[in-house]
Amino acid sequence: MAQQRHAIPPPLKTEEDYIPYPSVHEVLGREGPFPLILLPQFGGYWIEGTNHQLSGAPDSPPTPVPGARAKLEGNHTAKIYRKHFLGKEHFNYYSLDPALGHLVFSLKYDEQEHLHLLLRTRARTLHDVVPISCLAEFPNVVQMAKLVCEDVNVDRFYPVLYPKASRLILAFDEHVLSNHFKFGVIYQKLGQTSEEELFGTTEESPAFAEFLDVLGQRVQLRDFKGFRGGLDVTHGQTGSESVYCHFRDKEIMFHVSTKLPYTEGDAQQLQRKRHIGNDIVAIVFQDENTPFVPDMIASNFLHAFVVVQLEQGGAQGTLYKVSVTARDDVPFFGPPLPDPAVFRKGPEFQEFLLTKLINAEYACYRAEKFAKLEERTRAALLETLHEELQARSQAMLGLGPDDERPDNGGAAPGFFESFKSLLVPGSRRGRRGSAIGLGSVEEALLVPGKSPSRRRPGPLGSRRSSAIGIESIQEAPAGRDGPAAADGSSSTHSSPESRRNPDRSRSWHRDGGRGDSRAPGWECSGTGGHWAGVARGQGGTGMGDSRTR
């Protein structure tokens, strides 16, 4: 009986069980100086940069900003297709996995005998570079996908035949990229501790005006041609002036609380809050020493705040103290604040501050609320891309939307059998060891793949390059097919269409002197991912949207 008894877990804690942090009013009742940021009474935020005491003599200079340029974070995986695939010979495929959902797969074989693999799932995009020398044998397409993600469970991948497929794939990959940002700027005066007080300020102090000049340049909104960040540039309904900055090929518009319209009698100042409350990151500027609490502003979108407080530096010039706070589910973002977190006014401070703001927004996208939204958006866009590639590829084969489309795991007579019988029925040359060429469609796509082991087996022979269409299908000696091929007579393997119209069949070949015995070389053309009939087996060439919030 004693073994059957289980310890009863302790009850979950509620807010009443926690010892709350002191409120801002309690802190202000004490003797200063006060911190730049106070945590809400029940937490939920983290703080960076709590030390602002300059070391040494009072007039000693603050810790300088590192000379190295601060790194901008972002979604670097979204740039891989444009950098390594677009404009280069590569191949695109699509499939449907019962667990992973829609899949779009891109692969490229480079001159250094490396496979560049890019697999898109509804959850994320996976990228890998695999040396051919590490593989026991050249993999087929399914095996290549398993090299990137072992959870792939499909019988085949279908080649993308649409010439402009790269444009569609590029638009999907780069939908998460943006060169436009908007940040809120809130002016907190001495003693202001509520949202109504923060948004009710109408005048700007000289110190606040000086700080705005650090952020960017003042622009007139009427007929403004740059990124407007949701502000009205036609009728002046969002004020007449704002602050704008062009930084590292990115456009930034600031929603300054004192420059947005002020409405008499509106305690909440909805005209101001509807812009700043819908930003993800905001700056809080403090003239004097009054702590900011992140929950002062009720917003579902604001996830991070950069608090800047003026520090009179005397002979050192204008100094700024900086602290950063963000919700608990927002990961840390750089560049890290120095210790002590005090900056001298100048271009180095501007670069650090703008970099911190942009990285803060990228980090907030990984918070739970935004991550779920992005996952739903990505899944819907990937499904649309998959359906578009499938429909366009079917149309290239002359198949209408009502024609039977092969499902994953089933037979596909309408797609592959008609394709092979039309071009190379019974051709011995179609059975070359190409994992992507026409002759090995059954080997590369229709046979379920087993993920190959990454080990060094030694030379692989000519299979490596021919497997991705590097070698021409017609590079074999002309005498291989017998005398009939040399004198232009019809081959015993010619198709019914060739026998009915011999002149038409000869028009497939640019050599003129060769007949039907040499089936035209068909290979998957470069970036378009389409099948192009090229008599000499030469690959074709193929050929992307910035988001505005």
Residues 83 and 211 in one domain: no
DSSP 93-122: EEEEETTTEEEEEEEEE-TTSEEEEEEE-S
Q: In what side-by-side order are the strands of the sheet with 101-109?
A: 125-131, 114-120, 101-109, 91-97, 158-159
Residues 190 and 326 in one domain: yes
Domain boundary residue, one of 330, 365, 400: 365
Look up the pTM and report it: 0.67
**R_g (Cα) of the chain, nearest Å:** 32
* Kind of pairing between the strands at 522-524 and 304-312: unpaired
In a domain, 494, yes or no: no
End-to-end CA distance of the chain: give it in Å, rounded.
Answer: 63
What distances in angstroms separate CA 89 from CA 7, 231, 355, 439, one per listed residue? 63, 43, 36, 19
In a domain, 428, yes or no: no
In a domain, 152, yes or no: yes
Domains held by the chain: number: 2
- CA–CA dist 238, 256 (Å, integer): 11
In a domain, 398, yes or no: no
DSSP 227-246: --TT--SSS-BTBSEEEEEE
Which residues of the chain fall short of a pLDDT of 70? 1-19, 55-69, 313-315, 400-549
In a domain, 521, yes or no: no
Residues 184 and 146 in one domain: no
In a domain, 445, yes or no: no
Residues in the chain: 549
Residues 155 and 185 in one domain: no
- CA–CA dist 100, 524 (Å, integer): 26
Using N-to-C axis directions, what is the helix angle for 368-396 and 165-173, rounded to 10°?
180
Q: How many C-beta atoms surround the C-beta of residue 59 within 10 A?
A: 10
Inter-residue contact 109 to 470 (CB < 8 Å): yes
Residues 220 and 268 in one domain: yes
β-sheet bridge partners, residue 91: 107
pLDDT digits (tens, 9 = 90+) for 306-362: 999 998 766 678 899 999 999 999 999 989 999 899 999 999 999 999 999 999 999
Displacement of CA 176 from its chain's centroid (Å): 5
Residue type, 429: R
Domain boundary residue, one of 136, 161, 186: 161
Inter-residue contact 107 to 141 (CB < 8 Å): yes
Inter-residue contact 507 to 521 (CB < 8 Å): no
DSSP 116-180: EEEEE-SS-EEEEEEEGGGBSS---HHHHHHHH-TT---S--EEP--TTHHHHHHHHHGGG--SE
Tell me the CATH number at 190. Answer: 3.40.50.11210
Assign 3-state DSSP to the chain and report helix, strand, coil percentages, each to 5: 30, 20, 50
Inter-residue contact 388 to 94 (CB < 8 Å): no
Domain boundary residue, one of 126, 161, 196: 161
For residue 264, with 0-12 CB atoms within 10 Å meaning exposed, 13-18 middle and 19 or more buried, which class applies?
exposed
What is residue 498's three-state secondary structure? helix
In a domain, 439, yes or no: no
Residue partners of 466: CB distance under 8 A and separation at least 6 = 432, 433, 434, 437
Q: Could you tell me the residue range of the domain that residue 352 belongs to?
A: 24-46+178-365
- Residue 88's nearest CA partner among 77, 80, 97 is 80
- CA–CA dist 341, 306 (Å, integer): 12
- Residue 96's nearest CA partner among 107, 105, 88 is 105
The single residue listed with the structure tokens 């072992």 is 150
pLDDT digits (tens, 9 = 90+) for 377-412: 999 999 999 999 999 999 998 886 655 454 544 434
Residues 274 and 324 in one domain: yes
DSSP 349-413: HHHHHHHHHHHHHHHHTTSHHHHHHHHHHHHHHHHHHHHHHHHHHHHHTT--TTS--PPTTS--I
**What is the signed CA dihedral for 9, 14, 17, 20, rounded to 10 degrees?**
140
Largest CA distance in the chain: 104
Residues 28 and 87 in one domain: no
Tell me the CATH number at 131. Answer: 3.30.1120.160
In a domain, 327, yes or no: yes
Q: Is the peptide bond before 11 cis (omega within 30 degrees of 0)?
A: no
DSSP 441-507: HIIIIISPP-PPPB------TTHHHHTTT-S-TT-S-GGGG-HHHHTTPPPTT--HHHHH-HHHHHT
Residues 264 and 360 in one domain: yes
- 128: tokens are 């890998």
Q: Residue 138: its pLDDT value, please? A: 87
Residues 155 and 275 in one domain: no
Q: Residue 421: its pLDDT value, please? A: 47
Residues 134 and 280 in one domain: no
Residues 219 and 116 in one domain: no
Residue type, 125: T
Residues 182 and 322 in one domain: yes
